[in-house]
Amino acid sequence: MKRIILLAALLGGLLSALPLHAAKVVELNRIVAVVNDEAITNLELEKRLQSILVQLRQNGTALPPMEILRRQVLERLIIERLQLALAADRGVRVDDETLNEVITRIAAQNQLSPQQFRAALERDGGDFAEFREEVRHEIIMSNLRAREVESRIEVTPQEVDDFLARQAAGGGLDTEYHLGHILIAVPEGASPEQVQTARAKAQEVLEQLRAGADFRQMAITHSAGQQALQGGDLGWRKGGQLPTLFADSVLRLAPGEVSEPLRSSSGFHIIKLIDKRGEQREYVTQTHARHILIRSTALVADTEARARLERLRERILQGEDFAELARANSEDPGSGAKGGDLGWANPGTFVGPFEQAMNKLQPGEISEPFRSQFGWHIVQVIERRQRDSTEELKRARAHDAIRQRKIEEETQDWLRRLRDEAYVEYKD
């Protein structure tokens, strides 16, 4: 059950709430904050606080004073409420079919059926209807960020080249770093006095850390970062996935050390290098195959396309040349003229049904006819080989790392602007 509770907490699920005496309902449900024209109630805040407490205790994290944790959770709710309101204005919605698919995947990750997952959640005190809505909200916010931020991110080949050159000089793209992060936020358009106050607070936090304060507890207490309630844990990241601001500092840190405060438009960042590990060469199994494609159309039914391929397969097995038959019969304009030859391909190159059929074959074998989205095929594996794809994969990962870095930086700025432009009134 631990995995279920952890997963639900990460999704913002409400799996655990303290029993509420009926006489306290009115008091607990008072308004604690107004966000634009919407209210956040104390009941919402307490439920979320309890689920966060479950997560932190299971992770063994030292807890900050409850009022500080409560404030952090309230800020998280405010940011979520702003995103959901914007999503509603933008028409970003999630239908029940999509929601059910996601919950089915969550259940499968916990090795449970959807029915078993629901029963387990309710045994732990959770409300399944509330859990569904929390998952729906997470999907909506993710889709909104994809639309408002991620869709605008571009990565050029020159950026990839420059990135790889810097990484080669700084210790390698595939060296992995386990990082902790604390952000002392500065509002957009901050005055010099506000900046100086934030700088002084960051320096004070740094001094406490170097004096032995628990990093996770300090992050929960002071950080405005998105991972604050996870103790500021950014997890393992390859060198190529380090935010630009952090990269140089991280390379100079030894495991266990913390950086000086690093200034960005969002505020002052303190980074801890928890651990690091080295790179390895990577090999993939490439397949050299050829195929014959017959498309089913209004004039050519599935049964006829399949029957034609069965006859062609039998002729090949009787000794006729695969390439000649492919040139004469295949309806794939790319490979047909080349005797059906698809060249050397990495895993994931072809669509699922084609790759699955191909992967079942030994070199020299020819598949039975099978269907993909393009039509009916027979495929023959000519040979396989192991290839060192380290450099190729590095380039692909560099592209992904640059994109992810840009997304994280832009998302942080976008959320800060969203928060700064909102009307928020605290009632507590």
User: What DSSP string runs through 362-424?
Assistant: PTT-BPPPEEETTEEEEEEEEEEEEEE-HHHHHHHHHHHHHHHHHHHHHHHHHHHHHHHTS-E
Domain span at residue 350 reads 283-388
Residues 75 and 52 both lie in one domain: yes
Instruction: Give the bridge partners for 372, in sequence order.
Output: 375
The 3-state DSSP class for residue 344 equals strand
Domain membership of residue 159 (yes or no) is: no
Residues 12 and 129 both lie in one domain: yes
- Between CA 82 and CA 141 the distance in angstroms is 10
pLDDT score of 135: 94
Residues 121 and 182 both lie in one domain: no
pLDDT score of 165: 78
Domain membership of residue 153 (yes or no) is: no
- Any idea what the CATH number is for the domain that residue 23 is in? 1.10.4030.10
Residues 131 and 188 both lie in one domain: no
Domain membership of residue 158 (yes or no) is: no
The residue assigned the tokens 């807890």 is 63
Domain membership of residue 154 (yes or no) is: no
- Between CA 410 and CA 150 the distance in angstroms is 8
pLDDT score of 344: 93
Q: What's this model's pTM, rounded to 2 decimal places?
A: 0.56
pLDDT score of 372: 92
The residue assigned the tokens 């957009």 is 188
Domain membership of residue 104 (yes or no) is: yes
- Between CA 102 and CA 108 the distance in angstroms is 10
Which of 85, 113, 148 represents a domain boundary (last residue)?
Answer: 148
Domain membership of residue 255 (yes or no) is: yes
Measure Cα distances from 398 to 160, 168, 242, 273 in Å.
6, 12, 11, 21
Alpha helix (H) ranges present in 11-156? 25-28, 42-58, 66-90, 96-109, 114-123, 128-148
- Between CA 295 and CA 376 the distance in angstroms is 6
pLDDT score of 427: 86
Domain membership of residue 162 (yes or no) is: no
pLDDT in tens, 174-197: 678 899 999 999 988 889 999 999
Residues 308 and 415 both lie in one domain: no
pLDDT in tens, 190-229: 899 999 999 999 999 999 999 889 999 999 999 998 899 9
Residues 130 and 34 both lie in one domain: yes
Residues 187 and 294 both lie in one domain: no
Residues 194 and 254 both lie in one domain: yes
- Any idea what the CATH number is for the domain that residue 357 is in? 3.10.50.40
pLDDT score of 169: 61
The closest of 264, 247, 368 to 317, measured between CA atoms, is: 368
pLDDT score of 428: 67
Residues 249 and 106 both lie in one domain: no
Domain membership of residue 398 (yes or no) is: yes
- Kindly state the tokens that stand for 136: 């729906």
The 3-state DSSP class for residue 94 equals coil
Measure Cα distances from 119 to 15, 75, 116 in Å.
12, 31, 5
Residues 246 and 360 both lie in one domain: no
CB distance 273 to 253 below 8 Å: yes
Structural domain count of the chain? 3
CB distance 201 to 183 below 8 Å: no
Residues 352 and 403 both lie in one domain: no
pLDDT tens for the chain, residues 1 to 428: 333 333 444 444 333 333 333 344 445 579 999 999 899 999 999 989 988 898 888 888 888 889 999 999 999 999 999 999 999 999 999 999 899 999 999 999 989 999 999 999 889 888 899 899 999 999 999 999 999 999 999 999 999 988 887 776 655 556 788 999 999 999 888 899 999 999 999 999 999 999 889 999 999 999 998 899 999 999 998 777 777 788 778 878 888 999 999 999 889 999 999 998 876 667 889 999 999 999 987 777 888 999 999 999 999 999 999 999 999 999 999 999 999 999 999 998 999 999 999 999 999 999 999 999 899 999 999 999 888 777 788 788 889 989 998 998 899 999 999 999 999 999 86
**Residue 253 gets which letter from DSSP?**
P
Residues 250 and 314 both lie in one domain: no
Question: What region, left, alpha or beta, does residue 143 occupy, with left being phi > 0 and alpha being psi -120 to 50 degrees?
Answer: alpha
